[in-house]
Amino acid sequence: MRLGDPEGGGANLRSMIGVVWHIWIGVALMAVTVLACVGVLAYYMLSVESKKHPGGKQRRHQDL
C-alpha cells in the first residue's frame, strides 16, 4: 500500500491537491480582505483629517 494509491485506501493524489488548492485560495482571500480593510480605514482617516486641516484651495476659500 503506497501513499496516493487509489486502491490502497490511503489519501490519493487528487484529494491531496484539493486540500492544498483550498488552503491557497483561503490565503489569497484573507490577503485581499486584509488589504481591503486597511485601504478603507486609510481612506476614512484621510478624509477625516482633510476636513480637520484643509490645505490648498480649501483653506483659501474658507478665509474669504
Tell me: the pLDDT tens digits for 6-60?
555 556 666 666 667 778 899 999 999 999 999 999 999 998 887 877 776 665 5
Assign residue 27 a region (left: φ > 0; alpha: ψ between -120 and 50; beta: otherwise): alpha
Q: Are 4 and 12 in contact (CB under 8 A)?
A: yes
Q: What is the largest CA-CA distance in the chain?
A: 86
State which amino acid sits at residue 26. G
Domain ranges across the chain = 13-63
